[in-house]
Structure 1
Amino acid sequence: MSVDVRKVIEESKEQFYQDLDQVLQVESVKGEPEQHAPFGKGPKAALEAVMALAQSYGFKTKIVNDAVGYAQWGEGEEYIGVVGHLDVVPAGDGWSFPPFKLSKQNQRFYGRGILDNKGPILACLFGLKLLKDLQLPTKKTIRIIFGTDEESGSSDIPLYLSEEKAPQFGFTPDCKYPVVYGERGIVNYEIETSFPEDILRSLGDFVGDQARDHVPDELSVAIAGKNIQAIGKRAPSNAPELGKNAITLLAEKILHEKLVTGQLAEYFSWIVTSLANQHYGEGLGIDFSDADSGKLMITPYQLIKKDGQLSLSVAIRYPVSVTETEVTKELEKHLPLNSQLNVTRRIKSSHFPKEDANVQLLAKVYEEVTGLDGTPVTTTGATYARFVPNIVAFGPSFPGQKGIAHNQDEYMDEEDLLLNMEIYMRAMLKLME
């Protein structure tokens, strides 16, 4: 590329920050479905704000089924797709900065969505604007595609594909570098364990912020009138080793203080021995692994009392060479007495040929810009690459950066955000050539 991309970005970055701040201020957490807003007011408002920005940049725009929008450069029916999302997980507590605003301290940006995924997908949109403004020659049409339900199951994508063709090739800037050609399978289980009614009578409800996207960091329960609380450390559910799980910590505390006996003591002992710091399934006989995708990961994320039962929900990410059936078969051998296993979520693994010419093109761009090894990799995460045909995950996190999304004070270093924009500009230009 003859143009000095870094110089072009540097000259325009303040406008980019203003535009990014505008979109971060939209609290695009999933809400109740409404007419023309299938995932609630927030995600739809973010989509409309971005479409207005894209129009101001001079792109052709369209909103498909009120769920997905795109900004297009070029007129061909076949297109390159860059697919990101505007919905975000709830802010939660404990922020040092306003969660729904772009804040900057010591060359680091903060805000819900700055990394996952408003910052990276808007860097792609603004980067494409810069390329268009340079009037560089291109042969292919490209679309920057904005989803609004990635965090809650990606039910926006079928609504898009029901009206629009899938891209010829593309990427989602919603994972890590280098190019991610494979994503592990995901299965969530609910383990329901039954108890005689009189045994659970002394146990209150479990209270805390429990959701499948993160390791719970605070949980409390009253036992025979005494309140027991455990404080852990929040982390994304696909990086349980970076957190401290309040469920297992609470179980340890209950046992240490000898607050339960008999069947309840056996149950909390099972939680501790099977799950406390056993992030790879070794405590449950499901420690599968393979060369391509590494070790299975398990995260307990919700413990509730209901109708004579204790229900524990766990999220498992298993290697690409393993099947859900194999995981289930082994897990069933290691459950507490009187337990039933139910699948509450399943997403098959995905795999894209790493030898593909476009995958290798992305790897080469990454190597040229960063000087780092661009050998394609796999991930424990789940991205739009599972749901949109012909795309792979590519960025935005660099090697060693893990466990930032979904946390309090979600951040992205200014240097990394601009480096992402450069990588994406060069990648889009190469793909359009």
Structure 2
Amino acid sequence: MIDFKSEVLKIKDQMIEDIKNLCAIPSTQDDSTIAEFAPFGKANRQALDAMLEIGKRDGFDVEDVDGYAGHIDIGEGDETFGILGHLDVVPVNEVGWDSDPFNVIIKDDKLYGRGVADDKGPLLAGYYAAKIINSLNIPTKMKIRVIFGCNEELGSSCVKYYFTKKPYPKMGFTPDASFPVVYGEKAGCGFNIEGHVEKGGLIYLCAGNRPNIVPETCEAVITGNYKQYVDSYRKFLNANNLVGEIEEEGNHTKLILKGKSAHASTPDEGINAIIFLCKYLATVVDNKLVDFILEYLDDCNGKKLGIDHTGMMGSLTLNLGVISYCKEEFKIILDLRCPHDMDFDGMIEKFQTACANYGFRENHNIGKALYIDPDSDLINNLHTAYVNVTGDTINKPQAIGGGTYAKSMPNCVAFGAEFLGEDNLIHGNNENIKIDSLLKATEIYCHALYNSIKV
């Protein structure tokens, strides 16, 4: 057997340098800088160019598909094995980072920075694994195509467009989840709720900028001098072990509450600042929006709506990700991850009933779940690679709540790069990845490619 571990160690320094350079680009979608061949903004275009340049530097054929996505072709073969990763990242919180999120640092043998774990670091781990396979001149039946898009965090329109121009690989994986290999992804569903609500003492309520993140900070403005609320607000914060601020806002009072961000697929790992601030607001204002949130949205599994369900893929999750209330008009955006075997029509009906009870409007988008036979060759080859490197025979192929590029093409699954027992703080402050784990993931990808494409 080839000693892939030693091969990975040879490329360690160059891979880390590439990660630092790629993560220095703040590639969060910016609609104000959209231009021809930059459909997701200037920074995302820069990240795409940087990844294409890495492939050119290493002597491989590259192609830019109109700024939506690109690819690097490695090796030879009539058929193609795909590795799909994304170059866009979620926004960073204004406070909470211990270092500059776009200047990768090494601390305690970890890389810290936005994108080191989601998904620039793992994408480069997949790329370097493909590069290692190619360098060893292993006879292969498929070439490797490393595909990278720029809009995964906001719907993956990048690869949807890409695959209107380019054929699907025969099979593939995306290094954008966790180990072991993922055979199923819950359906990603979104609900937007809007309406008119009289103030009742609440002037303003705002939190969140992406529905797929548990909002860490929520702000509200309420009527009345702040001095009358100081004692009760501080008691509330202390009782719930929370941090917040209260201050004068003209003739009114401004409240700020700090929770904890997390990925929307695991909302129970965060502290939703909207929910907790509403719990306090309910004691000092008379506002139907606050009442609606606490009556129907105050849990992570939809129990209060009556839509909770646990199936083969696990439990439904619900995240109240964005809220905006101003001038008596509001909008809520919810992110749900739903098992494939639940009653989707029943879920929609429950939402519609809840909104009708308050005179609110709703619209929804119901996504598709992904399910690949756990006994398929693709799953077996990838899982065998994981076992070969880790020795873990206990943990089996899994289903997850996160949505990945795997849904964008047939016969594709998510595979790493986060290991069991590790928390890379994806979508949160101080996103990080252990260097040893990054190298181990690269080694696993080498074995996976070897298992899948060798003659």
What TM-score do the two structures reach when normalised by structure 1? Answer: 0.92
**Deviation string, structure 1 residues 365-413 (Cα, Å, up to 9, x no partner):** 1111111135221110010111122211111112233572111110001
Q: In 2, are the aligned partners of 1:236 and 1:403 still within 8 Å (CA)?
A: no
1:275 aligns with 2:274: no
**Partner of 2:331 in structure 1?**
311
**Partner of 2:347 in structure 1?**
327
| 1:389 aligned partner, one-letter code | P
Q: CA deviation at 1:327?
A: 1.1
**Partner of 1:149 in structure 2?**
151
In the alignment, the residues of structure 1 paired with residue 309 and residue 64 of structure 2 have an alpha-carbon distance, to the nearest angstrom, of 42
**Partner of 1:377 in structure 2?**
398
Q: CA deviation at 1:47?
A: 1.3
**Deviation string, structure 1 residues 17-61 (Cα, Å, up to 9, x no partner):** 112211111221112321111111111111111111112222111
Q: In 2, are the aligned partners of 1:179 and 1:374 still within 8 Å (CA)?
A: no
In the alignment, the residues of structure 2 paired with residue 329 and residue 175 of structure 1 have an alpha-carbon distance, to the nearest angstrom, of 31
Gaps of 5+ in 1: none
1:393 aligns with 2:414: yes
SS at match of 2:366: strand
**Partner of 1:429 in structure 2?**
450
Q: In 2, are the aligned partners of 1:183 and 1:351 still within 8 Å (CA)?
A: yes
| 2:141 aligned partner, one-letter code | K
**Deviation string, structure 1 residues 168-210 (Cα, Å, up to 9, x no partner):** 0000000111111111112111223433xxx327432224444
**Partner of 2:230 in structure 1?**
none
Q: CA deviation at 1:341?
A: 4.3
In the alignment, the residues of structure 2 paired with residue 327 and residue 120 of structure 1 have an alpha-carbon distance, to the nearest angstrom, of 35
In the alignment, the residues of structure 1 paired with residue 185 and residue 208 of structure 2 have an alpha-carbon distance, to the nearest angstrom, of 27
Q: CA deviation at 1:245?
A: 0.8
C-alpha distance 221-380 of structure 1, shift in aligned 2 (>3 A): same
SS at match of 2:357: coil
**Partner of 1:165 in structure 2?**
167
SS at match of 1:205: strand
**Deviation string, structure 1 residues 74-93 (Cα, Å, up to 9, x no partner):** 34342010111111111222
1:40 aligns with 2:41: yes
Alignment of 1:158-237 (within 5 A): 158-195=160-197, 199-200=198-199, 202-224=201-223, 225-237=252-264
1:260 aligns with 2:285: yes
SS at match of 1:366: helix
In the alignment, the residues of structure 2 paired with residue 12 and residue 142 of structure 1 have an alpha-carbon distance, to the nearest angstrom, of 18
Of residues 312-321 and 367-376 in structure 1, the stretch that sits farther from structure 2 once superposed is 367-376
Percent of residue pairs bearing the same amino acid type = 30
C-alpha distance 174-309 of structure 1, shift in aligned 2 (>3 A): same
In the alignment, the residues of structure 2 paired with residue 73 and residue 229 of structure 1 have an alpha-carbon distance, to the nearest angstrom, of 51
**Partner of 2:236 in structure 1?**
none
Q: In 2, are the aligned partners of 1:255 and 1:269 still within 8 Å (CA)?
A: yes
1:95 aligns with 2:97: yes
Q: CA deviation at 1:8?
A: 1.6
**Partner of 1:408 in structure 2?**
429
**Deviation string, structure 1 residues 239-295 (Cα, Å, up to 9, x no partner):** 110111111111111123xx223xx2x54244234333x2111111111111x1111
Gaps of 5+ in 2: 224-251
In the alignment, the residues of structure 2 paired with residue 239 and residue 144 of structure 1 have an alpha-carbon distance, to the nearest angstrom, of 28
1:244 aligns with 2:264: no
Alignment of 1:73-112 (within 5 A): 73-93=74-94, 94-112=96-114
Q: CA deviation at 1:345?
A: 3.6
In the alignment, the residues of structure 1 paired with residue 41 and residue 333 of structure 2 have an alpha-carbon distance, to the nearest angstrom, of 26
Q: In 2, are the aligned partners of 1:228 and 1:254 still within 8 Å (CA)?
A: no
Q: In 2, are the aligned partners of 1:43 and 1:148 still within 8 Å (CA)?
A: yes
SS at match of 1:282: coil
| 2:219 aligned partner, one-letter code | S
SS at match of 1:66: coil
In the alignment, the residues of structure 1 paired with residue 155 and residue 418 of structure 2 have an alpha-carbon distance, to the nearest angstrom, of 22
In the alignment, the residues of structure 1 paired with residue 320 and residue 221 of structure 2 have an alpha-carbon distance, to the nearest angstrom, of 20
Of residues 409-418 and 4-13 in structure 1, the stretch that sits farther from structure 2 once superposed is 4-13
What TM-score do the two structures reach when normalised by structure 2? Answer: 0.88
C-alpha distance 21-98 of structure 1, shift in aligned 2 (>3 A): same
**Partner of 1:58 in structure 2?**
59
| 1:83 aligned partner, one-letter code | L
SS at match of 2:426: coil
